[in-house]
């Protein structure tokens, strides 16, 4: 875009003029960089992208689009010990998912030869030297923020000696840490980054791209600006913590004689309330099992947001709207939620679902009769066409929240004697309430309908205050629904560096699993990865990664705005959803988070079992609860543990793999016992077999029974242990386990919508 808009006053609604765009405007006006705009997104392939990266991606790629420039993707892979092609793959997937495409793809490791040549030049010019102090000595010589550093005794080595040493460093003559190459600048500089910064370190490590060709690796500062220069980047944008590096960036590009060098500009990184956005903390959540992997829908990773149901356009809109500045700030998570609601309002078809079912019998509707009602997919204000048939019959499900025995002020849903509209159907009136004699729990509503109100309008013109959603009990389909909420209950989970651990602010109610929700029959053909609005409840995403067999799993992306819940905070959590805490038996440990409410209360025996599994077996509460509530699972777990199985490993198979249908016939109908499941779990834990093999064997076990261990021996299914791989240094291992956990999950997901790279080969040495 070399010409400015005809009318400078013209409104630029799509892209606000932040300080970076303003700067580029003036660069262009003054003819900097020959009128070119070239940016780049330079991630290190050592972790998954999160929404903070999305801000940078939108900035860099957005600028290229707006100014008719280019944007490269460059993997800043200068540290062989933490990087992995798996990450590089997922990063590319995420960028494309967001809707951007790079002009060209580069790796800093492709520039290692050029970088080395420049290092030689620096030595020849007397601007760099080989230092032989050890790590501790270097630190001691660096001084502190208030005291100048001291020169290294090796600082004045001759050019010849430096050249010789540096060549031998490259040749592999020295051990890690024996020497480093440093820039010769000023050990008394007020800017710590200028106190003879390290340029190269020796690292006898295998690089995922250059293999064993190098044992000498450039530091960030010696690689980044030069890579920008090689790619002829004009505007090098990064986050605030690199401000101090800018002086060095400029020194280095000048020292090697770059003409028209790129310039670095810093902006504030993104923070969002009620969440954490740092690789370290996110890794801690994954490794501590506080979330279910990097793509857990509660994580702010792009993969997590994707599984939560966020659209790429909503994330882009969010990034546009939060602005770009240099002040450290925390964006309200409500801003993100607004972005996705705003997008889905016009994109998600409306359907009906009942989360906490309450039976309604229409007494004056003939038994055995049913009819179909036409229901549009879109509300009147969304200009889209399309509808489906909704079956109606005598017995219905409604949501328990939509009925109140003693309606509070302003409640205009169903209550004794009151009339409401069933969406797209009829007016019904509640005539009688059936309650459990002992507990008083409402178990059923007896209602009458007005046949004249078919379609939802009364010919006599009478009005009803409320419209509620419903489903025909005989036609509804079962589904699992996962209600996600913010991961932390504290707005800022990490208040101070030395403050309390952020994990103590984890929200115990961030996930509620509803195992038996009902969805309308039209959803039988819904494609994984599609999004719906469950009317009056929120937006939901059909998750393919979580599906088990033919069971559909819907993740709640975000609730609808709910001014009623706001007005009456108590009404949001009605008595029905509160879990009756049993008083019998041992009291629950006070340190444990409250049981997430689910639809079915546990018996006293089941509660005991649940608490035991949760506390003694350390099974996650939701899983422990599911097992305790299900006799077949309960028996299998007990059998498995008696046979020596590790409870948490066995649980994975019981809860996440065993199809619901297998529980129907009772324990006797199964061709296997818990002992075989324990055997299988152990084989996998020991890494005797791989995940896919384990899954195959499990399928076989379900059908025919038998001994997994025996099969493995008979058929030679053992994995080959890669001894070369296991020699990899240990720091790398810590960073490698997360992608593996994710990859394992991806490979167990249904075949479609697989967005996770696999890591079959590496699984071997990760256990």
Partner RNA sequence: UGGGGCGUGGCCAAGUGGUAAGGCACCGGAUUUUGGUUCCGGAUACCGUAGGUUCGAAUCCUACCGCCCCAGCCA
- Would you mind telling me the total number of residues written for the chain in this entry? 767
Residues 716, 332: Cα–Cα separation, whole Å: 55
- The residues, ordered by sequence, that sit 6+ positions from 186 with a Cβ below 8 Å of its Cβ are 194, 195, 196
In the region spanning residues 324 to 353, those forming contacts with RNA, defined by CB under 7 A, are 324-332, 334-335, 337-338, 341-342, 345, 350
Q: For RNA, give the closer residue by CB, 497 or 589.
A: 497
Residues 560, 551: Cα–Cα separation, whole Å: 25
The 10 Å Cβ neighbour count of residue 409 is 6
- Say if residues 332 and 375 touch (Cβ distance below 8 Å): no
Count of residues that interact with RNA, criterion CB under 7 A: 92
Q: For RNA, give the closer residue by CB, 282 or 322.
A: 322
Q: For RNA, give the closer residue by CB, 190 or 669.
A: 190
Q: Is residue 2 within the footprint of RNA (CB under 7 A)?
A: no
Task: Give CA 210 to chain center in angstroms.
Answer: 31
Query: Which of the stretches 140-148, 355-363, 579-587, 677-685 binds RNA when contact is defined by CB under 7 A?
Result: 140-148
Query: Which of the stretches 96-104, 130-138, 650-658, 663-671 binds RNA when contact is defined by CB under 7 A?
Result: 130-138
Contacts of 14-23 with CB under 8 Å at 24 or more apart are 14/320, 15/62, 15/66, 15/320, 16/320, 16/323, 16/324, 18/323, 18/324, 18/325, 19/324, 19/325, 19/326, 20/59, 20/63, 20/235, 20/237, 20/265, 20/267, 20/324, 21/63, 21/66, 23/235, 23/265
Q: Is residue 202 within the footprint of RNA (CB under 7 A)?
A: yes
Q: Is residue 448 within the footprint of RNA (CB under 7 A)?
A: no
Q: Is residue 110 within the footprint of RNA (CB under 7 A)?
A: no
DSSP string, 596-620: PP-SSPPPHHHHHHHHHHHHTS---
Calculate helix-pair angle for 312-322, 51-66, nearest 10 degrees. 80
CB of 72 to RNA, least distance (A): 15
Q: For RNA, give the closer residue by CB, 274 or 756.
A: 274
From the list 204, 10, 196, the residue with the least C-alpha distance to 727 is 204
Query: Which of the stretches 160-168, 253-261, 318-326, 508-516 binds RNA when contact is defined by CB under 7 A?
Result: 318-326
In the region spanning residues 355 to 374, those forming contacts with RNA, defined by CB under 7 A, are none
- The residues, ordered by sequence, that sit 6+ positions from 417 with a Cβ below 8 Å of its Cβ are 429, 430, 431
- Say if residues 408 and 568 touch (Cβ distance below 8 Å): yes
Which of 321, 388, 446, 516 is the binder for RNA (CB under 7 A)? 321
Q: Which residue has the tokens 């919508």?
A: 753
Residues 402, 571: Cα–Cα separation, whole Å: 10
Residues 567, 632: Cα–Cα separation, whole Å: 43
Residues 280, 50: Cα–Cα separation, whole Å: 12
CB of 421 to RNA, least distance (A): 6
SS3 label, residue 594: coil
Q: Is residue 449 within the footprint of RNA (CB under 7 A)?
A: no
Q: Is residue 314 within the footprint of RNA (CB under 7 A)?
A: no
Backbone φ and ψ of 626, nearest 5°? -60, -45
In the region spanning residues 515 to 544, those forming contacts with RNA, defined by CB under 7 A, are 533, 535-536
- Say if residues 596 and 511 touch (Cβ distance below 8 Å): yes
CB of 150 to RNA, least distance (A): 12
- The residues, ordered by sequence, that sit 6+ positions from 498 with a Cβ below 8 Å of its Cβ are none
CB of 326 to RNA, least distance (A): 4
Q: Is residue 380 within the footprint of RNA (CB under 7 A)?
A: yes
Residues 362, 145: Cα–Cα separation, whole Å: 78
User: x-or-dash pattern for RNA, window 490-509, by CB under 7 A?
Assistant: ------xx------------
DSSP string, 355-401: SSEEEEEETTSPTT-EEEEEEESS-TTS----EEEEEEESEEEEEGG
CB of 530 to RNA, least distance (A): 17
Q: Supply the residues annotated as catalytic.
A: 44, 269, 279
Q: For RNA, give the closer residue by CB, 3 or 328.
A: 328
Query: Which of the stretches 136-144, 163-171, 286-294, 695-703 binds RNA when contact is defined by CB under 7 A?
Result: 136-144
CB of 665 to RNA, least distance (A): 39
In the region spanning residues 565 to 594, those forming contacts with RNA, defined by CB under 7 A, are 566-567
Q: For RNA, give the closer residue by CB, 286 or 468.
A: 468
CB of 520 to RNA, least distance (A): 14
Which of 3, 7, 146, 369 is the binder for RNA (CB under 7 A)? 146
Torsion of CA 461, 464, 468, 473, to 10 degrees: -70
CB of 131 to RNA, least distance (A): 8
From the list 749, 761, 758, 763, the residue with the least C-alpha distance to 292 is 749
Q: Is residue 127 within the footprint of RNA (CB under 7 A)?
A: no
Q: Is residue 273 within the footprint of RNA (CB under 7 A)?
A: yes
In the region spanning residues 11 to 50, those forming contacts with RNA, defined by CB under 7 A, are 16-19, 22, 44
Q: Token pair for residue 308?
A: 């939560």
Which of 120, 187, 382, 608 is the binder for RNA (CB under 7 A)? 382
Which of 213, 432, 457, 767 is the binder for RNA (CB under 7 A)? 457
CB of 142 to RNA, least distance (A): 4
Which of 384, 432, 462, 561 is the binder for RNA (CB under 7 A)? 561
Residues 705, 698: Cα–Cα separation, whole Å: 9
Q: Is residue 217 within the footprint of RNA (CB under 7 A)?
A: yes
In the region spanning residues 162 to 201, those forming contacts with RNA, defined by CB under 7 A, are 176-177, 180, 190-193, 198, 201
Q: Is residue 313 within the footprint of RNA (CB under 7 A)?
A: no
CB of 411 to RNA, least distance (A): 4
CB of 431 to RNA, least distance (A): 20
Q: Is residue 405 within the footprint of RNA (CB under 7 A)?
A: no
Q: For RNA, give the closer residue by CB, 192 or 389.
A: 192
Which of 26, 104, 158, 244 is the binder for RNA (CB under 7 A)? 244
Which of 27, 76, 86, 611 is the binder for RNA (CB under 7 A)? 76
């Amino acid at each position: 875009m070399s010409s400015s808009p005809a009318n400078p006053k013209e409104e630029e609604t799509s892209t606000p003029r932040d300080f970076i765009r303003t700067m580029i405007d003036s660069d262009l006006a003054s003819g900097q960089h020959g009128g070119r705009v070239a940016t780049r997104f330079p991630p290190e392939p050592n972790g998954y992208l999160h929404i903070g990266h999305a801000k940078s991606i939108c900035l860099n790629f957005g600028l290229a689009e707006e100014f008719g420039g280019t944007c490269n993707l460059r993997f800043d892979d200068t540290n062989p010990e933490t990087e992995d092609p798996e990450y590089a793959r997922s990063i590319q997937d995420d960028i494309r998912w967001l809707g951007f495409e790079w002009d060209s793809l580069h790796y800093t490791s492709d520039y290692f030869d050029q970088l080395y040549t420049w290092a030689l030049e620096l030595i020849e010019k007397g601007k760099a030297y080989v230092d032989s102090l050890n790590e501790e000595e270097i630190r001691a010589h660096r001084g502190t923020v208030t005291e100048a550093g001291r020169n290294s005794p090796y600082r004045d080595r001759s050019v010849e000696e430096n050249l010789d040493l540096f060549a031998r460093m490259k040749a592999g003559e020295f051990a890690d840490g024996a020497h480093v190459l440093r820039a010769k600048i000023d050990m008394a500089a007020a800017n710590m980054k200028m106190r003879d910064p390290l340029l190269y370190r020796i690292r006898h490590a295998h690089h995922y791209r250059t293999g064993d060709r190098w044992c000498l690796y450039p530091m960030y500062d010696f690689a980044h600006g030069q890579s920008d220069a090689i790619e002829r980047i004009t505007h090098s944008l990064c986050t605030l913590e690199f401000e101090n590096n800018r002086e060095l960036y400029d020194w280095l590009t000048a020292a090697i004689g770059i003409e028209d060098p790129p310039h670095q500009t810093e902006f504030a990184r993104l923070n969002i309330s009620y969440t954490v956005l740092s690789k370290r903390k996110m890794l801690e959540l994954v490794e501590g099992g506080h979330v279910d992997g990097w793509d857990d829908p509660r994580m702010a990773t792009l993969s997590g947001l994707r599984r939560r149901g966020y659209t790429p356009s909503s994330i882009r809109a969010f990034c546009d709207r939060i602005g770009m500045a240099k002040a450290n700030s925390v964006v309200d998570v409500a801003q993100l939620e607004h972005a996705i609601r705003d997008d889905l309002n016009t994109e998600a078809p409306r359907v009906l679902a009942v989360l906490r079912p309450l039976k309604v019998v229409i007494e004056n509707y003939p038994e055995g009769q049913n009819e179909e009602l036409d229901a549009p997919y879109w509300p009147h204000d969304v200009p889209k066409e399309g509808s489906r048939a909704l079956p109606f019959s005598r017995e219905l499900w409604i949501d328990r929240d939509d009925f109140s025995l003693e309606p509070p002020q302003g409640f205009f849903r169903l209550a004794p004697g009151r009339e409401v509209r069933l969406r797209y159907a009829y007016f019904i009136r509640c005539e009688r309430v059936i309650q459990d004699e002992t507990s008083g729990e409402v178990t059923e509503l007896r209602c009458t309908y007005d046949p004249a109100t078919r379609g939802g309008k009364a010919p006599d013109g009478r009005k009803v205050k409320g419209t509620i959603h419903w489903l025909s009990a005989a036609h509804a389909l079962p589904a699992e629904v996962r209600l996600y909420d913010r991961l932390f209950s504290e707005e800022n989970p990490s208040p101070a560096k030395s403050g309390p651990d952020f994990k103590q602010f984890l929200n115990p109610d961030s996930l509620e699993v509803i195992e038996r929700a009902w969805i309308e029959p039209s959803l039988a053909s819904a494609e994984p990865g599609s999004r719906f609005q469950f009317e009056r409840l929120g937006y939901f995403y059909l998750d393919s990664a979580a599906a088990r067999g033919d069971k559909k799993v819907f993740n709640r992306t975000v609730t609808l705005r709910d001014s009623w819940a706001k007005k009456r905070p108590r009404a949001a959590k009605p008595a029905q959803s509160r879990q009756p805490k049993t008083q019998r038996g041992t009291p629950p440990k006070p340190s444990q988070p409250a049981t997430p409410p689910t639809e079915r209360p546990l018996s006293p025996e089941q509660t005991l079992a649940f608490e035991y599994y949760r506390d003694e077996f350390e099974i996650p509460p939701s899983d422990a609860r599911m097992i305790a509530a299900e006799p077949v699972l309960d028996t299998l777990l007990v059998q498995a543990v008696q046979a020596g199985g590790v409870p948490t490993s066995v649980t994975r198979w019981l809860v996440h793999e065993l199809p619901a249908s297998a529980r129907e016939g009772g324990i006797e109908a199964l061709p296997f016992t818990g002992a075989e499941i324990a055997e299988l779990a152990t084989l996998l834990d020991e890494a005797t077999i791989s995940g896919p093999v384990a899954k195959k064997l499990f399928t076989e076990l379900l059908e025919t029974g038998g001994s997994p261990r025996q099969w493995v021996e008979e058929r030679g299914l053992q994995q080959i242990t890669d001894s070369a791989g296991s020699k990899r240094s240990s720091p790398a291992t810590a960073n490698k386990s997360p992608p593996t956990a994710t990859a394992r999950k991806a490979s167990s997901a249904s075949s479609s919508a697989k967005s996770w790279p696999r890591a079959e080969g590496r699984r071997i040495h990760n256990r």
